[in-house]
Structure formats: C-alpha cells, structure tokens
Structure 1
Amino acid sequence: MKKYQQLARQIIGQITLGAWLPGDKLPSLREQVTLSGMSFMTVSHAYQTLESQGVIVARPQSGYYVASRPAGRATVAPVKVMRDEAVDINTYIYDMLQASCDASVVPFGSAFPDPRLFPLQQLNRSLVTVSKTATAMSVIENLPPGNEALRHAIARRYARHGMQVSPDEIVITAGALEALNLSLQAVTEPGDWVIVENPCFYGALQALERLRLKALSIATDPQHGIDLAALGQVLNDYPVKACWLMTNGQNPLGVTLSPEKKRQLVELLQQHNVTLIEDDVYSELYYGREPPLPARAYDERGITLHCSSFSKCLVAGFRIGWVAAGKHARRIQQLQLMSTLSTSSPMQLALADYLATKRYDSHLRKLRRTLAERKQQIWQELHQHLPAQVKLHHSEHGYFFWIELPEYMDANLLSEQAIAHKISIAPGKMFTTGGGWHNYFRLNASWALGERERQAVVTLADLIHDQIKA
C-alpha cells in the first residue's frame, strides 16, 4: 500500500472511531506533514483521495472538514444502463471542438497534454535522419500492417510487461482513433449493439454514429469504474457484438480499473463471446512505480483488440497509433487499405528511429513527474478559488480533473460563458448520449501554471460563483 493510501486509511479510521466528527476541521496540509512525517505531496494526495471519496470537504480559505454526508459515498450516473438506437452527437462535438481551437483560448478543454512536454527536437532529428535515407520503396514497405521495425519495438514493450504479442498481429494506424474505428468496423455491422461507458470518450460515440451502431451505455463511477453488475445484465439481455472501454486513465473520469476488476471484466466478456475493444492511450501516464496492465494482459482467448498510440505520451502531430488485433489483423489491414491506405511513411520511420535511441523511457519518467506536479498545482489553485459546493474528482492517472458542479447548474452554459472569456472546458454533455452529466465538466491540468492559466482559473471560478448566485 502506498504512503498516501496509508494516511487516507488512517484518517478514515479516526473518523470511524469518532476522533473526528462530521463538520470538524482537520489538520491543515502543513500540520499533517508535521504530524505524519510524510511529504507535502503525499499528504495532499491523501486529502485529494479522501475528498474524491466524499469523506472530507474543502472550504476555500478555511481548510478541510469532515463531510456531513456518509463517508465513501461515490457519485454515480443516475441510471445504470442507457439505450440509444440512433446515436446523434457528432454535430455538438464538432461545434465544441471548433469553439476551442483558437490559439488565444486557454485550452482547459483540450484532450491533449501540453505539447511543450514532448521531445520535439529529438523527434525532428529522427525525421531529418530518415528523410535522408528514405527511398522510393519506403512507401510500399510501410503499407499495412506498417513499418516492421516499429511493430517490433511495440511488441518488445508488450513483452516487458509479460505480455505475448506478436509483431505480426500489430497494425500501425493514423493515431489510436483510427485503430479503434477500424477495430469496431471489423467486428460489427450496422444495427449491432455496442457497449460503451457512461460517461465515455466522445470519439466512441462519434464512431457509433458514423457506423450506424446502437449504444448501450453502462454507468461508470469516478472511483470504481464501470458497473460490472449492470454490464453482466446487459450481456444477458442484448445480442452485444462489441464493448469499447478504457481500463486505464478513463477519459473523462481518469479512473483505472483494479487488476481484479480487469480480470472479472475479461471473464465476463469471454462468457458471452463479446469482443473487447480496449482504448489504452493513457496507460503510460500513471503515477507511482508500477505500470497498470491493460485488460488484454488477462485475456487468454484472444477476444481483445488492444488499441493505443504515441499521441498522448510522445508526440501528437505524428498521428501514430496501433492495434494489437490478434485474429482480426488481416481484416483490419484490408479495411485500412480501403480508407486511409496507410499511415504516414516518414512518421513511422522517424518514430522507429527515435525508439531505437533508448530515450523513450527517460522521457516518460520525466513526463509523468511533470504531469503529477502540474496536476497538483492546478488542484491547489482550483481549491483556493472554487466555491465549496464544487467537487473535484481526483485520480491517480493522467492529467484530467472531473469536476462536479451543484446539481442545478449547467456545465454547457458555463462552457459558453468560458469561451466568451477565452477559456475552454469540456462539458459533460460531450461524453454521453443522455443528460446525466449536465453539471460536470472535464479540465485539462497538463499546462504550466503561469499568470494566464491562474487568471483563467479565477475567471472560471467567478463564472461558477455567478451561476450559483443566480
């Protein structure tokens, strides 16, 4: 058990025994550092965890207090399962993304980490190197399934985690989204039922709409992830063809499923012979020393198509992703030839060249450390300015905050007001086909906290205060 978890459990035990009563003020972060002998980062992480679980609440300019509501209460979607026979969300997603693509906008609504965190000079050197050696045959050699050296490099990274993935089953794609779309297309036909999370990555909803598939959205919790009981019931009741899930650093919640829950998930899908399309683009952005394994690691029957990319952890502009497709590899290659033909040959060659330098892991360690620090800094800034009625759901993964406004508030309206002030957020409506997340929004915490970002937090807090007063 990690130190922050030990401290969190210790405080819960004190509350349970009555040492701290509902409404009591807890020791401040600095006081707890002195009392526990732990670092400031460890103590603040423990308090974040307790706040996310509803055990304690933060009051701006005052401190932390024991919550008056029952400890451990988690926010869940209002319904366990939502059924949509015709997904219609692409227009709304397009409008939201267009509104926030202006360079003058503070991109708290962006799905990508700060690109200044990527080793662009080294990658550009690799691009220059391969451009000098590329031949007329390079394009043909890098047609699906993709560059051989790159596929071998990816297979070796699987092997380091004890997973057996052959380079022959890996298909290089134009980012993870193409991998996910091709995987979905390979195992479904128009009119089929597909399971997604609620809330879920909006790209999944757009894919269902484009392929004319029907959605079954399963309630997903910021602390525990997808509701397996509801999932099991849906699998019994519907002829489900595929399940599109994020098991590590789920977008927008940030939750990572426990190893046991991943194992149970795979077993459940195997029982019903349902394909798992695993979106694992945030797996490298974990906290701590131990990387979380994907659900694919627990799959012994080959029902999982594991999709990932380098866009969130190395470079977004190259648009290089892949799918470890198993028995579906040939079908996915055929579909890719009919759509994008192939992934950019120079980008594949440059990435293979960079990975051969052995600098990737050093970059990842630095990236994880920086993201953790920035997330902590923005968390403190948000707590200083947001009203007490607003709750920040904390996760041990990635760079997102899932922020809960009072039930009567509208995050979509807040988003419109924020854009007028040159600030973007991602309202909950982007991540569901229903209305269950109208008072939530996702905030990107990967940006360095300069004066521009600090002022954006203050402005956002002022807009929320104004809505509460109204």
Structure 2
Amino acid sequence: MKNDFLYVEISNNIAGLIRNEVLKAGDRLPSVRMLCQEHGISMNTAKRIFLELEAQSLIESKPQSGYFVSRLLHRKPALPGVSKPLRTNGKEPDELIRKVYGSMRKGEVTFLSVGVLAKELLPIAKLNKELMHATRQLTGSGTEYESVPGNENLRRLVAARSIGWGGSLRENDLITTAGGMNALSFCMMALGKPGDTIAMESPCYPGSLQLAVSLGLKVLELPTHPTTGIEVDALKKVINKIDLCLLVPNFNTPLGSLMPEENKKEVVTLLAKHGIPLIEDDIYGDLYFSGQRPKCCKSFDKEGNVLLCSSFSKTLAPGYRVGWVAPGKYKHQILKLKWVHAISSSTVNNEAVANFLKSGRYDSHLRKLRLTLQQNYQYAVDAIAEYFPADTRISRPQGGLAAWVEFNKKVNTADLFDRAIKQKIGISPGRMYTLQNQFENCMRLSIGLYWTDELRQKLKTLGGIVSRM
C-alpha cells in the first residue's frame, strides 16, 4: 500500500515538473537506481514509474543512456475516430489476406504486423524443460488420449486464476481446445446456423470474420471506439436483428480497446434479457500494461449466457495450441462438438502448460512481458511521431499486442503494403479487418516484436514511404 502511494506521488511530481517545463525536452532524468535511493523504493516500483511516464509520452528511454524528457512531447499523435460501419457488406478481402499471409514465408522481411510475440520474448528454455517433465510423468509418456473435457490439472489451474478477473470458475466449467480459434469455432458452430446474424466489433480480427462467413453467418459490424470498445447504444439499436454476439472486450485486436466495467455489465444484461449468447474472446486479458487485470464479461454472467474463450497462444506458446472455453449453459453442445471434431486435446502440451502455471513461472513471465509490451508501444509512438506525417493517428491500448494506425485518406494501405514489401517491410492493411469497404487508410501495428534499432529504422523507412504517398 505504501509503495502504491509513493508510486502515484512520485509519478505525479515528475509529470508536473515536465508539464510546467521545469524539466525541459531533452533533459536527463535520474537513473532507476538513483530514484530508488532518493525515495527508498524498490527497483520494480522505480521501473513502474518510468513506464507510466513513458505511457503518457512525457519521457523516452535511450538504450545505454537512461531516461530523458521527450522531445516529441507536443507531437503526440491523435486518436483514430470511432468506426462507422455501414449495414451492407462489401467484397470479402480474400485476395488481400492471401497476399499478406503469403508474404510471411519470406524470411528476410521484417513484419510489423504479426499478432504473436517474438520468440525472444518467450520463455522457450523453461517450456522445453516442462515438455520433458510432462512426458516423464504422464501415463504412456503422453501418448494416450485425454478425457474429452481435457487435462484436469490445466482446467483446475485455469479455474483458480479466474479469481483474478472477478470470476468463480470451477474445473468442471472448462473444456480445453486446440487454441483460441478452435474454441471460437466450437462456439459459433454450437450456437449459430447458416443465415443467422452475429454482431462483432469493427474493425475485427480477420480470422473471426472469415470463420463466421465460412459457417454461413451474416456479420453485423458495430461502431467501435478506439479506447472503450463497442458503442453500447449502437448494440441496443440492432438487438432485435442479431442471433449471437462475439466481442473481445479486453485489448481487442487491432484497436487495443478496453471496455469499461459498466459497459461489460450492461452488455451482458442486455444480451441475456433477449436470449442472445455472448461469445467472449479474452485471449489478451493477461497482457494489461499496469494496474489490475481487467474483469471479463463472464464476471457479470448470472445466466450462463457467456461463453468465455481464451488460450496461451498470445502469452506463452503459439505453436502449442493450448486453449479453453467456459461455455456456461452451453457446455453439452461444446462437449459434443469436441468429441465429434477432435476427441482429445494435445496431451503433452496441456500438461506442460499446466506445470508451468503451477510453478509460478507463468506469472513471473507475464510481469516482465507486460513491461516490455508497454515499452514497445511507447517506442512505436515515438517513432511514428518523429517519422510519419503529422496527421497520422494511433490508438492508445492499455494492454494487448496491437495498435491501430490511421493515415490521411490519400494513403491506401493495400498500396502501402506493395511498396513496403519491396523494402522488406511487412504491414497489415486495415481492409483486412472488415467485410466492408472501409479502413483502406489504416493498418494494424504489432507491439509484440523484439525492439531494436533496426526495427526503429524500418519504421523510419515506412514513414518515408507514407509521406511520399
């Protein structure tokens, strides 16, 4: 409690000195160690203070040199606007998606768009040990099928972690899946039929859009604020036109928005009243930058109407394909689908992840990762402010792996992709994140990369291309 008070007090004091220009652009700040000595605080608290000031674009860090008052203080990019999707769909961006994902096979390209963590940010050596340990402790060295609900240890540990987001899950409330998309797929198949309408955010993850379309569902895209998520009033207006709803309330991709708790509660109540199931994708919930883990919509679910989906693909090991769903009152339907389509989850991988959670290494990994991601976002903002046109806008996520960049209407990011790939830079055009003719001047920017001077130079090159367009 004392450290929290000091953290706020010291952060506010330094911020005040900068805003009142007592500390001017380019001035060096005390080192982390010096701040600890002067105020009697821990290293973690001191780092937290600097990260908070970075998040406010008040300071910037320079490798091997320390922290300085930001020279870009008065050039903080503005926020993108609230999306305004139409009621009619345009042509699906299949060709663009194939081109973008096809380019990812080129090893020499730097991808500023990928929605997973760089391998340098993953605890690979520790995970390897857990895999070896799992094969030794499992019956048949992990060659046998699991039960249909999935690994008991993993389900128990995931259920225990639900306390952190205001939930009260039990082991039997959960079913393991082959990653997050597999969980979403089971939910859509169980709840929707061809011709039904599903409401989603706009912009939205391309995989979710393509999944819905492949199942014959009609997608209704909702107006979405870059900071607070869907406009609840807009959902109310179309409530009688939809059959199910898919939302990513915590740090969705590509915006990085975070729905306020009161909005989550209102949405859960509204959908339950009308008998409309809510599929909640919480794949980024553990990646909050500071403060406490945000609650899930499932936290407010009294009817069993929310199907909560998540995985460890965005936080720990994308290739392990370890995910889960808490399907509420729809458990029987999901279990049947898993039995028909998969029978069992990956035995060894699930046990390895369960052991990693039990050891406490997962939480230790997350603490370091959150600091890195927050810092990466600030590095990206600084580079955009310095190298991109002055009217460039960027969202301000409070967690997750992505930020949304909006350019002048003259910039078509599908064209930008073609120009950038020639410079060995891969981007993710905004048109991929919608089924409508919108977001042509936007792109998703990953903050899950391993930050280097080379990466900053790539952003500088990309900014030059945008300026010429």
What is the TM-score normalised by the length of structure 2? Answer: 0.85
The residue identity in structure 2 corresponding to 1:254 is G
Counterparts of residues 36-55 of structure 1 (less than 5 Å): 41-47=51-57
Maintained 8 Å contact 1:100/1:109: no
> Is the 8 Å Cα contact of residues 130 and 356 (structure 2) preserved in structure 1?
yes
Is the Cα contact below 8 Å between 1:228 and 1:265 reproduced in 2?
Answer: yes
The 1:170–1:91 alpha-carbon spacing in structure 2 relative to 1, beyond 3 Å, is farther
Letter in 2 for 1:77: S
Task: Answer yes or no: is the 8 Å Cα contact 1:77–1:436 preserved in 2.
Answer: no
| Distance (Å, rounded) in 1 between the aligned partners of 2:141 and 2:129 | 22
- Counterparts of residues 224-263 of structure 1 (less than 5 Å): 224-236=228-240, 238=241, 240-263=242-265
Match of 1:448 among 450, 456, 466: 450
Structure 2, unaligned stretches of length 5 or more?
Answer: 31-38, 40-45, 59-69
In structure 2, what is the equivalent of residue 275 of structure 1?
277
Structure 1 residue 446: Cα displacement: 2.2
Matched, 1:363 2:368: no
**What does 1:324-403 align with in structure 2 at a 5 Å threshold?**
324-403=326-405
Which of the residues 133, 144, 165 maps onto 2:148? 144
CA distance in 2 between partners of 1:232 and 1:26 (Å): 49
Query: After superposition, where does 1:115-126 map in structure 2 within 5 Å?
Result: 115-126=119-130
Which residue does the alignment assign to 1:82?
A: 87
1:403 and 1:258 map into 2 onto residues whose CA distance is: 22
**CA shift for structure 1 position 379:** 2.1
Where does residue 285 of structure 1 map in the other structure?
Answer: 287
What runs of 5+ residues in structure 1 fail to find an aligned partner?
Answer: 20-24, 49-59
Alignment of 1:78-227 (within 5 A): 78-79=84-85, 81-84=86-89, 88-136=92-140, 138=142, 140-227=144-231
Deviation for aligned residue 1:317: 1.4
Taking only the aligned residue pairs, the percentage that are identical comes to 29
Amino acid of the structure 2 residue aligned with 1:275? P
Distance 1:350 1:208 in 2: 32
Q: CA deviation at 1:30?
A: 5.3
* Alpha-carbon shift at residue 194 of structure 1 (Å): 0.6
Task: Write the letter of the residue equivalent to 1:313.
Answer: T
SS of structure 2 residue aligned to 1:342: coil
Distance 2:168 2:73 in 1: 49
Report the Cα offset of residue 435 of structure 1. 1.9
Distance 2:284 2:25 in 1: 29
**Residues 357 and 363 in structure 2, CA contact (< 8 A), matched pair in contact too:** no
What amino acid maps onto 2:170 in structure 1?
A: S
Supply the RMSD in Å over aligned alpha carbons.
3.1
Alignment correspondent of 2:65: none
Cα distance change of structure 1 residues 342 and 255 upon mapping to structure 2, 3 Å threshold: same
Q: CA deviation at 1:449?
A: 2.5
Aligned CA distance change for structure 1 residues 92 and 30 (closer, same or farther; 3 Å): same
Alpha-carbon distance between aligned partners in 1 of 2:331 and 2:324, rounded to the nearest angstrom: 11
1:378 touches 1:449 (CA, 8 Å); kept in 2? Answer: no
Give 2:324's match in structure 1, choosing from 302, 322, 325.
Answer: 322
1:10-89 correspondence to structure 2 within 5 Å: 41-47=51-57, 64=74, 75-79=81-85, 81-84=86-89, 88-89=92-93
CA distance in 1, matches of 2:331, 2:72: 57
Please state how far the C-alpha of 1:362 moved relative to its aligned partner. Answer: 1.0
Q: CA deviation at 1:333?
A: 2.0
Instruction: Return closer, same or farther for 1:405/1:160 CA change in 2, 3 Å cut-off.
Output: closer
The answer for the alignment partner of 1:51 in structure 2 is: none
Change in 2 beyond 3 A, CA 1:119/1:222: same
Q: Distance in 2 between matches of 1:142 and 1:212?
A: 32
Write the deviation string for residues 370-417 of structure 1: whole angstroms up to 9, x where unpaired: 111222223222222112121222221123221110012101111121
Instruction: After TM superposition, give the deviation of residue 432 of structure 1 in Å.
Output: 0.3
Q: Is the 8 A contact 1:3 1:42 kept in 2?
A: no
Q: Is the 8 A contact 1:74 1:223 kept in 2?
A: no
> What's the TM-score once normalised by structure 1's chain length?
0.84
Q: Aligned with 1:278: secondary structure?
A: strand
1:269-326 superposed Cα distances (whole Å, 9 cap, x missing partner): 1121111100111000001131101111011111100000001111111110100112
Evaluate the alpha carbon distance shift between residue 66 and residue 357 of structure 1 in structure 2; reply closer, same or farther with a 3 A threshold.
closer
SS in structure 1 at match of 2:307:
strand
Q: What residue in structure 2 maps to residue 54 of structure 1?
A: none
Shift of 1:27: 8.4
Which amino acid is 1:408 matched to?
K
Q: Distance in 1 between matches of 2:97 and 2:257?
A: 23
Output the CA distance in 1 between the equivalents of 2:333 and 2:341.
13
| DSSP 3-state at the match of 1:64 | helix
